[in-house]
Structure 1
Amino acid sequence: MTGGTDRDDAADTGEAPEGRRRGLRAGPVARLLGLCLVAGLILAGVTFPLVGGVGLVSNDASDTVSATSTDLAAGQLPLVTTVTDRQGAPLAYLYDQNRQPTPLESIAPTMKAAIVAIEDRRFYEHDGVDWTGTLRALVTNQSAGSTQQGASTLTQQYIKNYQLYVTARSQSERLKATEATYARKLREVRVALQLERQLADGRTKKDAKEEVLQRYLNIVFLGNNSYGIGAAARTYFNTTPDRLTIPQAALLAGMVQSTAAFDPVAHPQAATGRRNEVINQMAVQGMITQAQAQEAATSPLGVVSPLATPANGCIGAGDGAFFCKYVVEYLGQAGISAEQLNRAGYTIRTTLDRNTLTAMSAALRGEVPARQRNVADVMAAVSPGADRHEVLAMGSNRVFGVDGSALETSYGLPWEPVNLGAGSVYKVFTAATALDKGLGIDYQMQIPADGYASPIYRDGQGNPFPVRNAGSYAPVLSMTDALAQSPNTGFVKLMEYTGVAPVVDMAVKLGMRSLAEPQGAGGKSIAEVAKEQNQGSFTLGVTPTSVLELSNVGATLGSHGKWCPPTPVLGITDASGNPVPVAEQPCEQVVPPTLADTLMTGLSKDDQAGGTSSGAAGENGWSRPMSGKTGTTQQNKSAAFLGFTPGIAGAVITFDDSSSPRPLCDGGGDSPPYPCGDGNIFGGKTPARTWYKTMTPLLAAAPAQPLPATDPRYVSGGTNEQIPDVVGRQADDAQSRLEDAGFAVTRTTVNNRAAAGTVVGQSPRGSALPDQVVTLQVASGTVGAPPPPP
């Protein structure tokens, strides 16, 4: 596509030269009659606003011309949107047209002279139409029987370019804007005359002319995705328009005629010849001296290699590309379309923290190299807050790209749901529901043996399916210890009390909002299906999970139970610097602050001895308070870790990202995980190591923040769930008190020196489920004989 004189319009129509010549070739008399006809029509079209019967302009032509010239006078050119990090440093550029608006005073005189010399030497004399040049071109073209000369002024070229690059939205509209017809030329002439009159209103002719020149130099296409002189100066010479030299300016001015034919990269010899033609015209017209012309004509092209064109879109954002794409999708959901982003020239200041991104990227690829086949490691980090949850960074071991290989992807790995799930991290939702229903974080959970047949745990056909543990556990654990050690049977048993539906609802409330979104047109959401089918497996994290949403769950708990959308945007301004509003969901207090605080502290043992991520914490020298939960899915096809402090929350999922996922094995040490026959990856391995590798250096210089205080209501449980403490009472009295409180009681005798019949222990103690059996340990009054010596 070219943006220059009308001699290029003929070339751009796609019509074969022979066909054009057949249509125009005729005898001298016919050509003379044609010339007279065209000249008359132009005069009539300019003189009379309404021309009927000639087929050149419609009856509303005057209104159309007026509206077009008004639009041209006030219209906004497509501009580049700049996406920045939170400090304001550019991250990516989004554009349909690479354009850097430049005021005329910031454009070198050499550039102004070069474009006037080669394209419109009488620019400062005419009123928008060069009648001398128009008639000359008509005579030449009619005599030759084909288009040999153009006659468009810079004003007319500006009009054509505006219609081509601003108003045209389809290929047919673009072809219409450049069609080689007298009707278009006539309309262009009339618009040019009216536009210059409008721009001259209240100002001198010179000022009006310079306004046209500025507009033209900012709209003209100069090849290699460069629109306007600002982008072209940067693209070809890595400089600014005010520093363009004579040969540089001449090269750019010469390309207007044909950006393809005179492309200095593809056709340097042709570009040099055209450049020197422009230089010669500048000398002939007295704009430069002969000495300057000779020096400029012998200079090299000086085009930079590679061309300095900014990468278009998120692919140019490097490790920030996934974050950039999330910004685009987030704003799309907020009502700002991709077309607006690519044309409006916004400045989008995001929440991206470069330090967090750097630490995260190093950790992700340190655990799983980018080229490790079939293993993706993804992470997101969110800052808690009472009014905003800001996304600090997100990333993947995979490179953001579109080359079609399995090792590059433009899929939103860090925020789109991962089909393989997050495993036992979902036990957090069961624990939160239990607290909400009255139990305390110190509640002594029953841990059924491996292979427990729960009435709510069934396979896809509705048949009972035994719940399996990944290790051996004590028969009773506090909820705090159970969260750290993660027995499956205990949490399925707990969900028999809470019910499946409340746990699903709690997951959505705390941050897993995509679970409530309908699947497909009119389809049910994952949350609806889980509740309808009473899926006891929900607490084991079998549902698709967004890493970003999981991070935001940590931010919700770290914000005292306040959910806010994970926003990636600090603010947007338009091309004039005015703020652009962004519609975002309001924050919600989804659980009582004291519940969130108590649960956050109840999750504090995962990094400690006996916790499932203690090994990873120790390897990375972690020593500050944190809350965490690991998870692993069926057959070890994916594993996850959620970790958060009062200042930052992050989640990691490691999974097989192939079309046919297999179990993953954790190589340990310097060996990355890999697909295998019998998996051994767990949330406490690669995912937890990724988290600690990110957070340890990132937070090293920051003072450690304590976890929030707990509340007695959520430590010991609500009044209705608290068990009378009967230790020290006589067995009959103790049993009576417990039965009066609604609990079933069993007794067991233990050897103890206390008075016979005295209760010396009870299980559970503190809080219990309404139908839970309380076991009393009753003293025998004697101590058994010591065991025989070995």
Structure 2
Amino acid sequence: MGFARATGLIRLCGLCVTAGVLLAAMLFPVFGGVGLASNRATDTVNEMSGELAKADPPMVTTILDKDGGLVAYLYDQYRIPVSSAQISNTMKAAIVAVEDKRFYEHHGVDWHGIARAAAKAGVEDQATEGASTLTQQYVKNYLAYVVGDADQDAYAQATAHTVARKLREARIALQLEQRESKDEILTGYLNVVPFGNKTYGVAAAARTYFNTTPDKLTVPQAALLAGLVNRPSALNPGKSPEEALARRNMVIDRMRENGAFGNPADASARQIAEDYKKAPLGVVSPLSVPASDCVGIGEGAKDGFFCRYVEEYLAKAGLPTDQLKRGGYTIRTTLDRHATDVAKQAAESQVPKTTKGIANVMSIVEPGTDKHRVRALVANRDYGNNASAGQTSYDLPAQMIPFGAGSIHKIFTSAAALEQGHRISDILPTPYLYTSSVFKGGGSSCPSAGYGEHWYCLHNASPNYPPQMTLQDALATSPNSGFVWLEEKVGVPAAVDMAVRLGMRSLATTKDPERTGKTIADAVKSENRASFTLGPTPTNVLELSNVAATLMSGGVWCPPTPIEQVLDRNGKPVPIREQGCQQVLSTPIANSLVVGLSKDDQGPGTSAAAAAAAGWNRPVMAKTGTTQEYKSAGFLAATPQLAGAVLTFADGSAPRPICDTDPPSLCGEGNIYGGKVPARTWYQTMNTLLAGQPVLPLPPVDPRYQ
């Protein structure tokens, strides 16, 4: 007798003993602890029965806008759980006929089949996939795709080609058959089993392949789905239609043999089967599988940036994306679809999406003292993976941009000055050329400070500024010299800390790009960088919007939240870890600074031309900004109802200065300013969104700061 055959007989004998032990475990629970299965599998027995089993499978998380409209689905397994009553008898008959024709007769295990599998294992040194009942397959699929979805060891055990796995399945199947009815087991199986194309469960499969529901499946449709569970990849009807058709027809034959069409021997039953086999596959093209992330779902081109921010925000709040993709949550967000549409149109009208190397990004936040709700996150780019079509998967509105916001940072120096006792009526010197007697680090053209160092020196964008002006007028016209002078008075650390307090929180967490090993905030403070007030550091458009919302909320900072509510799969609220709102600047100072920023749209204000062109007629706080090399320009502004920021910047692999042509273009010198493309985008958006709403005044300035 050959060695392999002898081994097979030995294993077969062992199987007989094991079968006896398994039966004993059924009859005498004291033996249930015999080491025939892992503790993990044993613990799972209870999970396999009753309502918990029906709730455990990974489910689709749905993201909704503020009005309940669909934004996106997040999932690893596309599954729509259904009850037995929602599955047609045709589907049940098809799966029983092809997978386990004795399903309603056995008690969960086919011992003869297992014996054959063990004998073959002795010859081939592995277990085969045959001889498994539907109950055992349910166990296997549950362990692989429910337990194993989040536990790779469990998945490996559930799919291992070993006799040990077969015995583990048998043990759980025997107990499961004692605890659940045949219909409950069959329903559980049909809700768990994979059908290919990331589709799990019969309801999702019916939607994916036929755009229907499982209660309406016809015989040919049910037979095709029942055939898929054997080898979903190889029998994919989209890629292998001939193989899928042959498999479907085989299932129809099995259904006839199992009495689905009457007496199998009758000619009428044979004719019915033949008629069904003549039907075309009927699979929809393309398959009706929803996108499984923020790319490509419905309004994904516009909503994708917001969807991505939801993922990132919830990950920080205790719901990581991998949990979202299994949990079956319903997430109601703050997304305003109308605001998104309007802002997207404005961003693209100023910088068409086909424009090479230039991004135009906008975020909108609603001020408030209890929440700062994010209403829109858009760009002239679409959210996606096709760069040649102007798409990007980088979250432009809510991530750090490598280019700065320019003179918008003068807001932080001004806020720090007001907090230290200055007033918006204070006079600032604003000479065309200015050399600091406090800051160092200037270039070779700056006067020497000794020891090889130079004093920091700079000039204004134009020589036409008056030699001095009030802080309020300086905020409107933005002379560089006056704010470096003011920064000397308040100190760089105070200005940086104010920026972080008001909303630029990423400055305190993002590493400095000059490789100091410190955060941007710490690096700027430790090096006493005078340029901070001129805004060269990387920025975040959403955080800029939130700065405006903080000031318009009386100095109350709240995290820019995209979340209204999170519900679990059972409709119960899920608490998330969100930062609370904070009074980061006194209300009198915040209100006074809002008034200090109220002249930008008037007279010589830097956004006056854009405001006039848009027919703007509302009180507004605003500030423009442009970086030195014209590679970025920004605009921050707010009314009492809405706050927003726009950043136009070079986003190509070889960034160059931007020229304000029609459409904007990359060029050699650059002439982009915050009062041009960014301000035009903002005013166009807000004019539309605020149409019909009351014209609200800005808060009054506190006399102490006037």
| TM-score (norm. length: structure 1) | 0.81
Q: How many residues matched?
A: 672
Q: CA deviation at 1:425?
A: 0.7
Change (3 A) 1:113 1:440: same
Change (3 A) 1:144 1:481: closer
Name 1:453's counterpart in structure 2.
435
2:595 is aligned with 1:595: no
Distance 2:127 2:421 in 1: 88
Q: CA deviation at 1:351?
A: 0.8
2:142 is aligned with 1:162: yes
Change (3 A) 1:43 1:499: closer
Q: Deviations over 1:606-662 (max 9, x none)?
A: 112211111111222222221110001112111000011001100011111234432
Q: Secondary structure at the match of 1:464?
A: strand
2:355 is aligned with 1:359: no
Change (3 A) 1:632 1:65: closer
Name 1:198's counterpart in structure 2.
179
Name 1:615's counterpart in structure 2.
609
Query: 8 Å contact 1:140–1:149 — kept in the other structure?
Result: no
Q: Secondary structure at the match of 2:687?
A: helix
Which residue of 386, 389, 393 maps to 2:376?
A: 393
Distance 1:140 1:537 in 2: 77
Query: 8 Å contact 1:49–1:62 — kept in the other structure?
Result: no
Task: Give the counterpart letter for 2:325 in structure 1.
Answer: N
Distance 2:367 2:129 in 1: 67
Task: Give the counterpart letter for 1:640 in structure 2.
Answer: G
2:99 is aligned with 1:126: no
Name 2:599's counterpart in structure 1.
605
Distance 2:352 2:21 in 1: 69
Alignment of 1:410-559 (within 5 A): 410-447=393-430, 449-459=431-441, 462-471=453-462, 472-517=464-509, 519=511, 523-559=517-553
Which residue of 544, 560, 564 maps to 1:566?
A: 560
Task: Give the counterpart letter for 1:247 in structure 2.
Answer: P
Alignment of 1:724-763 (within 5 A): none
Q: Secondary structure at the match of 1:236?
A: helix
Distance 2:670 2:306 in 1: 31
Q: Deviations over 1:278-330 (max 9, x none)?
A: 11222222223525433321111110000011111111222111111111111
Name 2:687's counterpart in structure 1.
696
Which residue of 34, 37, 46 maps to 1:70?
A: 46
Distance 1:602 1:143 in 2: 87
Q: Secondary structure at the match of 2:144?
A: helix
Query: 8 Å contact 2:503–2:557 — kept in the other structure?
Result: yes
Distance 1:32 1:379 in 2: 70
Distance 1:616 1:103 in 2: 59
Query: 8 Å contact 2:357–2:650 — kept in the other structure?
Result: yes
2:242 is aligned with 1:257: no
Percent identical residues: 50
Distance 2:539 2:125 in 1: 69
Distance 2:36 2:230 in 1: 33
Q: CA deviation at 1:586?
A: 1.1
Name 1:727's counterpart in structure 2.
none
Name 2:283's counterpart in structure 1.
303
Name 1:378's counterpart in structure 2.
361
Name 1:10's counterpart in structure 2.
none
Q: Deviations over 1:454-511 (max 9, x none)?
A: 2244436752232211121122222222111111111112222222221111111111
Task: Give the counterpart letter for 1:709 in structure 2.
Answer: P
Alignment of 1:308-327 (within 5 A): 308-316=288-296, 317-327=300-310
Task: Give the counterpart letter for 1:329 in structure 2.
Answer: E
Query: 8 Å contact 2:37–2:167 — kept in the other structure?
Result: no
Query: 8 Å contact 1:119–1:153 — kept in the other structure?
Result: yes
Deviates more, 1:535-544 or 1:31-40: 31-40
Q: CA deviation at 1:248?
A: 0.6
Distance 1:238 1:456 in 2: 71
Change (3 A) 1:226 1:429: same
Change (3 A) 1:618 1:581: same
| TM-score (norm. length: structure 2) | 0.90
Which residue of 677, 683, 687 maps to 2:668?
A: 677
Name 2:209's counterpart in structure 1.
236
Alignment of 1:335-354 (within 5 A): 335-354=318-337
Q: CA deviation at 1:42?
A: 4.3
Q: Secondary structure at the match of 1:152?
A: coil
Distance 2:460 2:126 in 1: 86
Query: 8 Å contact 1:122–1:130 — kept in the other structure?
Result: no
Task: Give the counterpart letter for 1:514 in structure 2.
Answer: S
Task: Give the counterpart letter for 2:434 in structure 1.
Answer: Y
Distance 1:582 1:336 in 2: 8
Task: Give the counterpart letter for 2:44 in structure 1.
Answer: T
Name 2:449's counterpart in structure 1.
none
Q: Which runs of 5+ in 2 are unaligned?
A: 27-32, 263-268, 444-452
Distance 1:369 1:180 in 2: 56
Q: Which runs of 5+ in 1 are unaligned?
A: 1-21, 51-56, 200-207, 716-790
Alignment of 1:177-196 (within 5 A): 177-196=158-177
Query: 8 Å contact 2:432–2:481 — kept in the other structure?
Result: yes
Q: Secondary structure at the match of 1:570?
A: strand
Q: Deviations over 1:483-542 (max 9, x none)?
A: 111111111122222222211111111111111226289942222222222222111111
Distance 1:473 1:422 in 2: 22
Q: Which runs of 4+ in 1 moved over 6 A?
A: 136-149
Distance 1:553 1:395 in 2: 18
Distance 1:589 1:144 in 2: 72
Deviates more, 1:695-704 or 1:38-47: 38-47
Distance 2:335 2:243 in 1: 46
Query: 8 Å contact 2:8–2:118 — kept in the other structure?
Result: no
Query: 8 Å contact 1:65–1:190 — kept in the other structure?
Result: no
Distance 2:590 2:109 in 1: 74
Distance 1:285 1:366 in 2: 65
Q: Deviations over 1:726-775 (max 9, x none)?
A: xxxxxxxxxxxxxxxxxxxxxxxxxxxxxxxxxxxxxxxxxxxxxxxxxx
Name 1:646's counterpart in structure 2.
640
Distance 2:509 2:225 in 1: 53
Q: CA deviation at 1:601?
A: 1.9
Q: Secondary structure at the match of 2:701?
A: coil
Distance 2:357 2:38 in 1: 65
Query: 8 Å contact 2:456–2:530 — kept in the other structure?
Result: no
Q: Deviations over 1:438-461 (max 9, x none)?
A: 2222223222x2121122444367
Which residue of 673, 695, 709 maps to 2:700?
A: 709
Query: 8 Å contact 1:128–1:155 — kept in the other structure?
Result: yes
Distance 2:516 2:600 in 1: 41
Change (3 A) 1:110 1:476: same
Name 2:157's counterpart in structure 1.
176
Q: CA deviation at 1:33?
A: 4.3
Which residue of 315, 326, 331 maps to 2:314?
A: 331
Q: CA deviation at 1:133?
A: 5.2
Query: 8 Å contact 2:329–2:566 — kept in the other structure?
Result: yes
2:259 is aligned with 1:286: yes
Q: Secondary structure at the match of 1:524?
A: coil
Change (3 A) 1:657 1:458: farther
Query: 8 Å contact 2:476–2:597 — kept in the other structure?
Result: yes
Query: 8 Å contact 2:548–2:644 — kept in the other structure?
Result: yes
Task: Give the counterpart letter for 2:645 in structure 1.
Answer: A
Alignment of 1:108-127 (within 5 A): 108-127=88-107
